[in-house]
Structure 1
C-alpha cells in the first residue's frame, strides 16, 4: 500500500445515534436482501430463502472459532466469485447493496469436522437450512453434511460444523450465496461518489488490505492462503468492469427483467486475497503498451478528457521496464491497470494488475499541479509497481513482516522515480522524507521493533496498527543502508535469486537475508558478521544509536538514542541496544574509501583522529540509520566550515548536521544553543535540503513557543535569515514571473515564500495578498501551481471571512483533485476562530468534506495555533462517533491523534490527554492505540524540554536579533 500520507488512509454526533443507525442498517439490509432474493437475482438456487444470520459474541475459550487465526486444516486452491453491485439506492431503504455467489475449492490437509472461513458484514441465503453448501470435488467421494452454520462476529468467521470429517488429501467445494451493503466506508467492497456534468455518479470499488476481502465474499483471508480466482461482475450496460485479470468477454443478459451485462475475467495467478480488486464505474481511460504489456490509466471521464492521466501513462512503461531489469524478472501479468478513485482511504493499493489510487496520487495537470504533486505521482506509481514483484509475486507469510513488504517498496520507489525523472535527484529526498521523519518516532520509548512476533499480531486492529512510519520509513531506511554496505550489485543479485525461488509463494524476512548472504559469499563481499546477525540488530530491537566520534582521539562509541534520556524502556531486547554500525566518513572534505564498522559499544579508529583545524564528518549522505555526535572541538570546526565554505560539506550532510544537532540537543547530548548555531549559516544557503531540514526542526520551536514571549524574537531572527533567500528567488524568477529550473530549487522557492510570510516580511505579505486579491477580483488565477498552497494559506491567514468564503466556493467547485487539496489545506490557515469551528463542523458532513479527507482536515486545523485547541475539543467531544463512523481498522487514527496533540506542552494538556485515554478505553483507538501513548510520552518530554530550555532559547534569539537588526528589502 502506498504511503499516500498515512493520513487518508471524522466525524461526530453521538454514540446513541450511531447505535440506532447501525441497528437500522442491519434491519434494512435484511429487508432489501429478502426483496432481492425473492426476485431470483444471480443464479437462484432451488429453495433459496434468506436466513437472518445467527451471531455470537466469543467468550474467552480455546475453541478455534474464538481465535483470530485460521486453523491449518484447509488450504484454498481456487475461487469462482460472481458479484452484482447495485449502483442505485433501494427506493425504500436508500441502501446500496451487492449480491454475490462464491464457490471455493480447497484441500483438506488435516482431518477436521469444522470449516472456518472469514466473513464480515455479509448476509447469507439459506441452502437446505444452512448458510453454505458443501460437496466433494471427486464425484466418487461424498462430503459430510453441515450440521450447523453461524457467524462469529468478533473473530469474523462463517462457522460450519459437520457431521463427519473432511479427509486429509481430499478436495471439496464450498458454495455460498450472500448479500452485503455497498457502503461508503472505504473498506472491502464499497462505493465512491462524485459529480460530473451536474449528475451524481457512483463507483463500486474495493480496498481489501489488510483484512477486508471478507467483507466482499467469504474467503480464507490470510496472506499465506494463496489461490487462483475467477471473477465475474454483473453491471449496468455501458459501465466499465475491471478486475485483476483481463476481461475475456462481456455479454448482455437479462435477470428477472433487468437488462444487464456480465463481464468475465481471466483466471488470476496464484495470489493472496488482500490483493484482489473489482471495480464497476463509468470511467474512461488512456492506454499504451510496453513489451506486450497493456497499460491503462482510468479516471473520471472529465479527468481523462483533460489529459490528467497522461503523465502517469508516460512514466508507467519506463518504471515497469526498470523494475524488470532490477528484479531480472519479467512483469508477470499481461496488463497493468491503474485507476484514480474519488474516495480512497490510503494513498494507493498494489492490487495485482489493478492498482487503485487517490486522485491526487495518480492524476497530474500542469495547469493545476505543483512539482510536489508531480513527484508524488511518480514515487507512488513506482512504489506500487515495485510491489508487483515484491509483495505480490512473493508475499510475506503474515502481517508481522509487513515492514519488509512496505519498507522495501518505500525504498525502491525512489529508484523507480529516478528512472522516470533523472534530473530531479529524487533519491536524495529519502533522507528528509523517510530517514529524518521516522527518527522522530523511533526515538521515543514507545516505539517498536520492525519485526513483531507472529503471535503478537492477531486482530485486524493490531494488523492495521502496523501500517505506520516504522514499517514504511524505518523499513526503507534500513534496507537502503543494507544496500549501501553490501553494494547495490550484491543487494540486487540476492534479491533476484530470492524472487526466483519464492515466486507465487510466501516467505519470512529471514529468507531474504539468506539470499543476500549467498550473494555476498559469491562476490567475496567482506562483512564483519553475517547479513542476518547484522540486520537482527536493526530489525529485532526498536530505536537506533547515536554514534559519538571523538576526532581528537579517533574513538567512536554508540548508545541508544532517546529524545527523553530518562524515559523507561520497557521493551526487552536481547541485544541490549547495541547495533553493528556501518560508518562512511570524510576528513577535511575528502571521502574515505570503504566502510568502517563499529561492532561494539566503543572502539578506536586511528584514521579518524585529527588535530588543529582539521575535521571529520561521519555518515556520509546519511546512508546509515543513526545520528552522529562529535567532540566539542570537531563541532566547532564543522560550524566554521559551514560559515566560511559550506559547500565543502555535501548538501545531504548539511541537512544532516542541522537535524542531528537539534535532536541531540532535545536529548540533552549537546546544548540547544549549539543546535541553534547551525542555522546561522543559512543566510548564505541556497540549497533546498538544508533549509527544509532547518524548517522541519524549527517547527518544533514554533510548536513549543508560539504561545510565549520567545515567539517574537524567534520570528525576527528567522525573518533576517530568510530575507536573503527571498531576495534570491525574487531575482532569479524576475519578480516571481518565472519558475526556477531545478526541481529542488522549485521546492526551496516555496520555502522562501512560506517562511518570509510566516515571519511577517512585509514584501511577502504584499506578494501573497496581491496575487490572491487579483484572483478574487478578476476570476483569473495566475498563481503558479507550485506557489498556490503557500499563497492561498498566507492570504487567507491575512484576510477574513471574505477571503475564506471565496476559497471555500472554489473548493466546492474544484474538479481537479490537486487544486481541491491545496484549497482544503489553506482553509485551515485562517486566524478567525469562528471560521475554524465552522470548518471543523464541515468534516461531519461527507457532502462537504469527503470521508477520506476528514481526519487530515482536522489535523490541518490543529496545526494552526488558533485552531489547535478547537480541534482538540472537537475530537474529544466526538471521539465515539469518529471512531465508529470511520472504522477501527482505519489507518488515519494515529495521524489524527498525533496531529491534534503535537503542540501539547503543559501539565493541563497532559492531564487532558490522560483523561481522554481513560474516558475512551471502552470505545478504543484502533490503529491509533500506540499514538495515544506516544502523545502522552511526547507531551511529558515537551514539558521537560521547555522548563530546561526556554530561558536559554529566549536569550539566544534576543542576542542574535540585537547583533543583526532587520535590514531593508532590496528589490
Structure 2
C-alpha cells in the first residue's frame, strides 16, 4: 500500500471513537430536545402583519360616520358690511371671512374625515395632533356639492384611534345672502333726522343667523347633526358702531386691521350644545334690560326700543323665567338672556340658547295699539321658546299617572340629571318610574314608536271596541296596539271611569255597552287622551239630541271635541257627513269659544271644498242664521268700542264679527264700514282686538279707495302688530285686479318683507277670488327655481296634487248629501 494514500490504524480507531461519541451526543441531544419540547411546546412565530384596511369613499348614507366626534370649536368670523350707507361709507360689502378650529376625538384609525360645508369657499385645511401640534400630511380635500354637503378631508398619515385628539383648522369665505338662512343679511329702514331736521327713512343693514335645521354648515365647516354636541368659542370682528351678540355675553375691544378700526368681540365658551342652537347677530340695534339674578336684554330697532315697544316683553320674560325656575327647581344655566326682534326671519321665533330670535310682531308691542291677542301671542311665544317642549302627549301621560306631584318630581329629576346631554325617551320614563307605580314605559312605548295616533271606535249596543291608526285616506290605516287610557262616563251617572285599551282587533268591554233607551256614552272626557273617538250612529244621534236639549251637560272641551272628531271622521269616510253637520245645529244657542272655534275651523274646510259650486249659497245662509245670535250677543260691546272681560269671550267676539260680515249679515257689514269710514276721517275708534276683522270686512265691502288707504296705512305703520292686521286686511278685497297687484307686491321686499311673503300669499289664497291668482304665482315661482329647488317643489306639488285628488273624490261622493242637508236647514 503506498504511503500517500493510507492512514494509520491508530488514526482510524480515533475517528471511529469520535464518530460513535458524536452519534451518542446527537442521540442524547435528541432525547433531551424531545423532553424539552414535551415540557415547553414551541410557539409559532408571528405572521407578517398586514396594514389595516381603512375605509375610503363617501359614507353609505347622508349621516356623518362615527370615526370621529367633535369636542369643541373655536370660530372667528369677520363680516365686512356697514350698518348704514353714509357719506363716509360707500363701499358696502356683504362678504364674510373666517376660520375655525374644531377639536375632534378619533375613535378608530382613520385616513378620512367628513364635516359639513354649504355655500362656503374653503381655502385652507390643516389637521394637527392636539397634544404635540404635529401637522399631518394631507392627501387633499373636496366639497361634495350634492345633498350630502360633505367636506371630505383625505390624509396621507393615519389618525390613531383609541380616543386620540386632533385639531382640524379651516379658513373660509362666504357671502351674506338675503335668503334668511345661515348667516344672512337683513335690510330695513330707520327714521333719522335729515339735514333740515326732518324725519327721513335711512336704509340700514344687519347680519343675523338662523342655523336650524341644518344651516350652521353655511357659516363654518362643522359636524352639523343635532346629536354631535360640542362647546363653542366664538370671536366676531365687526365694524365700529355695531354690536355683536351670541349665545354668551360678549367682551368687545377695538383694534386696527389694515389701517381700519374694527371691534373684536370675544364670547366665552358655551355649554355643550348642538350646532343649530348657535346664534350670531351684528347690528346697530339698541336694547332695554332688566338685571336680577340673570340679566335680560331685549334688542330691536332703535325706533321701536325708544318708543317702549320692548317693555312688555321685558316684563313678561322675567315673570316666565322665575316661574320656570321655581316650577322645575332648576336654575337657568347662562348668565344672560338676549332676545332680539328681527325685521326678517323665516320662523316665528328660534330658541337659540341665550340669544332667542323673534319676528318683530312676536316680541314688540305698542301698548296703545296692541290687542289682548297681541299680548297673548308675545307671552305665549316667549314662554314656548324659554321652555321649548311641542305638550299634548305629556298631558296625556300626566293624566295616566294621575299624581301631579309625582309627575312633576319625575320631570324635575329628568331635567336636572340630563343637562347638556343627549337623551333617549327611556331616560324620561326611568325618571318618572321612580315616582309612580304605573308602568310608564309600557304605556308610552307605542306612542313613541308608532306614526300618528289612533281612532277608537265604540259600538255602544254591544260594548265592542276597536282601535286603528287614524288617517284621512282610510286604506292606509292599519291596526296598531296603542296603549290608550280611555276616560269615559255614561249619562245615567256621569261618574268618570277609566279603562286601558291595547288591542289591534275588536274586543268587548261590558261597561261600554248601553242598554237603556235614552242613555248615551261619552269617551275621552276632557280630551285627556291623544286620540279620536268614533261611535255607532245611534250614540252619535243621542249625543246630538243632548246638545240640542241642554248642551251644558257635556263638558265644554268635549263639545268642541265631538264636532272636531265628527268632521275629521267624515273627511276620512268613516262617518256620514250629515252627522257631523247636525252637531253644529245647537251652536245657535252656544256662546262659548271652544265649540264655535272647532265648528268654524271645520266648516271653513267644507266651504273650501264647495266655494265654487251651488252648495256655497246654502252654506252661507246656514252660517248667517247660526251666527246671528252670537253676533247680537256681543253687538253692544262692538258698537261701543269695548270688549268682554273673559278672554275666550274676546276671541268669540272676533269670530262673531268675522263670520257674520263675511257671510252677508247686513248689520255687521254696516257696522264695519262705518267704523272704517271714521278711521279714514281721522278717528280710529276700533278696539285693537277687532281691527283685523273690521278692516278686512270693510275692505271686502269697499272700493279701490279703501284699499289704497289701507295700503298707505300699512306702509307708514311702525307697530309690527298693526302692520300685520293691515297686511291681512288688504287680502280681503273682492277686486281681482287689486289682489293681483298685491300678489306682485309680495315679490318686492321693499313693499312686503321676505319674512311676510309666504303668509301674505296664504292670505290671498284663502280669498275665493284670490285662489287661482295665488296658484298661478306659485307655479311661476316653481319654474324659476334651480334644479335642487325644483326637486323639493316637485315633491311638495305632488303632495298637494295627492290631497287635491282625495278632496275631489270626497266632494263627488258627498256633494249631494251636503247640498240636501243645508237646503233642509234653510
Does the alignment reach a TM-score above 0.5? yes
Q: SS at the partner of 2:467?
A: strand
Once the two structures are TM-superposed, the CA of residue 65 in structure 1 deviates from its matched residue by 6.1
| TM-score normalised according to structure 2 size | 0.87
Structure 1: distance between partners of 2:457 and 2:214 = 44
Are 2:484 and 1:484 aligned? no
Are 2:237 and 1:234 aligned? yes
| Counterpart mapping for 1:203-218 below 5 A | 203-218=206-221
Give the match for residue 390 of structure 2: 410
Check conservation: 1:360, 1:818, Cα contact below 8 A. Answer: yes
Q: SS at the partner of 1:523?
A: coil
Check conservation: 1:203, 1:282, Cα contact below 8 A. Answer: yes
Give the match for residue 152 of structure 2: 159
Once the two structures are TM-superposed, the CA of residue 667 in structure 1 deviates from its matched residue by 2.9
Q: SS at the partner of 1:642?
A: helix
Once the two structures are TM-superposed, the CA of residue 856 in structure 1 deviates from its matched residue by 1.8
| Counterpart mapping for 1:774-789 below 5 A | 774-778=678-682, 780-789=683-692
Give the match for residue 185 of structure 1: 179
Give the match for residue 310 of structure 1: 311
Check conservation: 1:554, 1:609, Cα contact below 8 A. Answer: yes
| Counterpart mapping for 1:104-183 below 5 A | 104-125=102-123, 131-139=124-132, 142-154=134-146, 155-168=148-161, 169-183=163-177
Give the match for residue 825 of structure 2: 960
Q: SS at the partner of 1:866?
A: helix
Q: SS at the partner of 1:730?
A: helix
Give the match for residue 259 of structure 1: 261
Give the match for residue 5 of structure 1: none
Structure 1 pair 124–666 and aligned structure 2 pair: CA distance change class (3 A) = closer
Give the match for residue 545 of structure 1: 454
Check conservation: 1:289, 1:317, Cα contact below 8 A. Answer: no
Once the two structures are TM-superposed, the CA of residue 754 in structure 1 deviates from its matched residue by 0.5
Once the two structures are TM-superposed, the CA of residue 66 in structure 1 deviates from its matched residue by 7.6
Structure 1: distance between partners of 2:188 and 2:272 = 34
Q: SS at the partner of 1:179?
A: strand
Are 2:556 and 1:651 aligned? yes
Check conservation: 2:489, 2:497, Cα contact below 8 A. Answer: no
Check conservation: 1:81, 1:100, Cα contact below 8 A. Answer: yes
Structure 1 pair 597–933 and aligned structure 2 pair: CA distance change class (3 A) = farther
| Counterpart mapping for 1:566-715 below 5 A | 567-568=475-476, 576-588=479-491, 591-593=494-496, 595-600=498-503, 601-610=505-514, 611-715=516-620
Once the two structures are TM-superposed, the CA of residue 867 in structure 1 deviates from its matched residue by 0.9
Once the two structures are TM-superposed, the CA of residue 181 in structure 1 deviates from its matched residue by 0.4
Give the match for residue 512 of structure 1: 428
Check conservation: 2:75, 2:233, Cα contact below 8 A. Answer: yes
Once the two structures are TM-superposed, the CA of residue 506 in structure 1 deviates from its matched residue by 1.0
Check conservation: 2:487, 2:525, Cα contact below 8 A. Answer: yes
Q: Which stretches in structure 1 are left out of the alignment for 5+ residues?
A: 1-60, 126-130, 388-408, 412-476, 889-922, 962-971
Give the match for residue 249 of structure 2: 246
Are 2:368 and 1:367 aligned? yes
Structure 2: distance between partners of 1:666 and 1:214 = 42
| Counterpart mapping for 1:53-452 below 5 A | 63-64=57-58, 67-88=61-82, 95-125=93-123, 131-139=124-132, 142-154=134-146, 155-168=148-161, 169-197=163-191, 198-247=201-250, 249-290=251-292, 292-387=293-388, 409-411=389-391
Give the counterpart of 1:833 among 719, 726, 736. Answer: 736
Structure 1: distance between partners of 2:609 and 2:276 = 42
Question: Per-residue CA shift, 1:31-84, capped at 9, x if unaligned?
Answer: xxxxxxxxxxxxxxxxxxxxxxxxxxxxxx972368522222222222221212
Check conservation: 1:338, 1:355, Cα contact below 8 A. Answer: yes
Check conservation: 2:371, 2:689, Cα contact below 8 A. Answer: yes
Structure 2: distance between partners of 1:861 and 1:757 = 18
Give the match for residue 424 of structure 1: none
Greater CA deviation, 309-318 or 487-496? 487-496
Structure 2: distance between partners of 1:515 and 1:878 = 50
Structure 2: distance between partners of 1:346 and 1:313 = 21
Check conservation: 1:65, 1:157, Cα contact below 8 A. Answer: no
Structure 1: distance between partners of 2:56 and 2:691 = 58
Check conservation: 1:188, 1:207, Cα contact below 8 A. Answer: yes
Q: How many residues are paired up?
A: 754
Structure 2: distance between partners of 1:286 and 1:883 = 43
Check conservation: 1:729, 1:736, Cα contact below 8 A. Answer: no
Check conservation: 1:64, 1:71, Cα contact below 8 A. Answer: no
Once the two structures are TM-superposed, the CA of residue 162 in structure 1 deviates from its matched residue by 1.6
Once the two structures are TM-superposed, the CA of residue 651 in structure 1 deviates from its matched residue by 1.0
| Counterpart mapping for 1:779-818 below 5 A | 780-818=683-721
Give the counterpart of 1:869 among 767, 772, 777. Answer: 772
Structure 1: distance between partners of 2:73 and 2:447 = 40
Once the two structures are TM-superposed, the CA of residue 594 in structure 1 deviates from its matched residue by 5.0
Q: SS at the partner of 2:63?
A: coil
Structure 1: distance between partners of 2:506 and 2:328 = 38
Structure 1 pair 652–103 and aligned structure 2 pair: CA distance change class (3 A) = same
Root mean square deviation, CA, Å: 2.4
Check conservation: 1:665, 1:675, Cα contact below 8 A. Answer: yes
Q: SS at the partner of 2:101?
A: strand
Structure 1 pair 68–635 and aligned structure 2 pair: CA distance change class (3 A) = closer
Q: SS at the partner of 2:241?
A: coil
Give the counterpart of 1:760 among 657, 661, 664. Answer: 664
Structure 1: distance between partners of 2:78 and 2:517 = 77
Once the two structures are TM-superposed, the CA of residue 766 in structure 1 deviates from its matched residue by 0.6
Give the match for residue 15 of structure 1: none
Structure 1 pair 114–368 and aligned structure 2 pair: CA distance change class (3 A) = same
Greater CA deviation, 328-337 or 695-704? 328-337
Check conservation: 1:485, 1:595, Cα contact below 8 A. Answer: no
Q: SS at the partner of 1:120?
A: coil
Check conservation: 1:143, 1:166, Cα contact below 8 A. Answer: no
Question: Per-residue CA shift, 1:623-651, capped at 9, x if unaligned?
Answer: 21221122333323322221122111111
Structure 1 pair 325–231 and aligned structure 2 pair: CA distance change class (3 A) = same
Give the match for residue 470 of structure 2: 561
Structure 2: distance between partners of 1:300 and 1:105 = 38
Give the match for residue 742 of structure 1: 646
Q: Which stretches in structure 2 are left out of the alignment for 5+ residues?
A: 1-54, 192-200
Give the match for residue 21 of structure 1: none
Structure 2: distance between partners of 1:688 and 1:182 = 46
Q: SS at the partner of 1:222?
A: coil
Check conservation: 1:143, 1:172, Cα contact below 8 A. Answer: no
Structure 1: distance between partners of 2:57 and 2:373 = 52
Question: Per-residue CA shift, 1:119-172, capped at 9, x if unaligned?
Answer: 2112234xxxxx223332223x62312232322222223322222011223322
Structure 2: distance between partners of 1:70 and 1:669 = 44
| Counterpart mapping for 1:34-53 below 5 A | none
Structure 2: distance between partners of 1:308 and 1:764 = 33
Are 2:679 and 1:770 aligned? no
Greater CA deviation, 503-512 or 601-610? 601-610
Question: Per-residue CA shift, 1:412-434, capped at 9, x if unaligned?
Answer: xxxxxxxxxxxxxxxxxxxxxxx
Structure 1 pair 591–96 and aligned structure 2 pair: CA distance change class (3 A) = farther
Structure 1 pair 348–772 and aligned structure 2 pair: CA distance change class (3 A) = same
Q: SS at the partner of 2:390?
A: helix
Check conservation: 1:80, 1:230, Cα contact below 8 A. Answer: yes
Check conservation: 2:81, 2:92, Cα contact below 8 A. Answer: no
Structure 2: distance between partners of 1:531 and 1:816 = 48
Give the match for residue 951 of structure 1: 816
Once the two structures are TM-superposed, the CA of residue 663 in structure 1 deviates from its matched residue by 2.1
Once the two structures are TM-superposed, the CA of residue 273 in structure 1 deviates from its matched residue by 1.2
By relative contact order (CA 8 Å, sep 6+), the higher-ranking structure is 1
Structure 1 pair 811–377 and aligned structure 2 pair: CA distance change class (3 A) = same
Check conservation: 1:103, 1:175, Cα contact below 8 A. Answer: yes
